[in-house]
Each structure stands twice: as structure tokens, then as C-alpha cells.
Amino acid sequence: MRIGELAQASGTPIETIRFYEREGLLPAAPRTEGNYRIYTPQHAERLGFIRQCRNLDMTLDEVRVLLRFKDQPLAACGEVNSLLDEHIGHVAERIRELRGLEKELRSLRAACLTPHVAADCGILNGIDQAGAHGAAQRKRRHVRGAH
């Protein structure tokens, strides 16, 4: 199948498929005499695996490790377990960060319980005050969109 067909069948943008090829996650597809990429069912299966890893918010490096083990089915999978344990830790940390963010946002929201003119808005003033006092930037780790 051509790249457009693979994209449509998998729900993956063409540029993402090309990116995964450039990154070495998806093997380069052989080309026809007309220079079209021709993808096999194995490409589609591997792409599905990659997409599921990404849906689990895994980094490209984590996906590479998992693919290495998938390509060596007789290898011991202790490193896979360790990788997933570490990933679970990242997710737990992100949940803690998000709970803190929610608390901060609720506090801001409580500062403006009734509508005022923008100059008197407790939310806008609270954001200004936090910015003026050099509020610490949140250290974001392992978050969707940052991979």
C-alpha cells in the first residue's frame, strides 16, 4: 500500500509516518520504479504499536527501547518492566503537578466570584501578582506534546 493508504488505514498523518521513518522507528519502505513508497502489513502493524506507545504518552526513546525488544522476541524483558515502572513514576509525578495546578487555578477562580470590569478582575490581578513576584516556573517533565 502507498503512504496515503497507510495513513488513512491507521489514522496517522503522512508527515508523522515520514517522521517515524526518519527517526528509525518505522523501517524505510521499499520504493517503486516511480519512487512511491510501498508499505507492507508489517509496516502497518509496527505503526500501530508505535501509535499505541505514543497514546500511552511514551517518549520516542522509550518507544525505541520497546521496539528493540519487540524485534528480539527471545530477549529477557526485565528492561521493559523497568522502563514501564519508570514511565508510571513520570505519570504519577505529572498527576501531582496537575493537582497542584488545579489548586492554583481554583484559588485564582475564587478571587473573582462575581464579574467586574477587567481592571478589577481578581483573576487577572492574581496572575499579574504571581508574575511580578517571579512565581517559579513549573518544571514540566514527560508531558504530552513535549516529546
Residue 60 has pLDDT above 70, yes or no: yes
**Cα distance between the two ends of the chain:** 29
pLDDT at 147: 36
Distance, in Å, from the CA atom of 133 to the CA atom of 77, rounded to the nearest integer, reads 49
pLDDT at 116: 82
Q: What are 87-146's pLDDT values in tens digits? A: 999 999 999 999 999 999 999 999 988 888 988 888 998 898 887 776 555 555 554 544
pLDDT at 136: 55
The alpha-helical segments, DSSP class H, found in 12-137 are 14-22, 41-55, 60-71, 78-110, 122-132
Q: What are 30-47's pLDDT values in tens digits? A: 999 999 999 999 999 999
Q: What percent of the chain has pLDDT over 90?
A: 76
Distance, in Å, from the CA atom of 125 to the CA atom of 131, rounded to the nearest integer, reads 10
| Residue 143 CB contacts under 8 Å (≥ 6 apart), including other chains | 57, 94
The pTM (predicted TM-score) of the whole model is 0.77
pLDDT at 130: 82
| CATH code of the domain made up of 3-55 | 1.10.1660.10
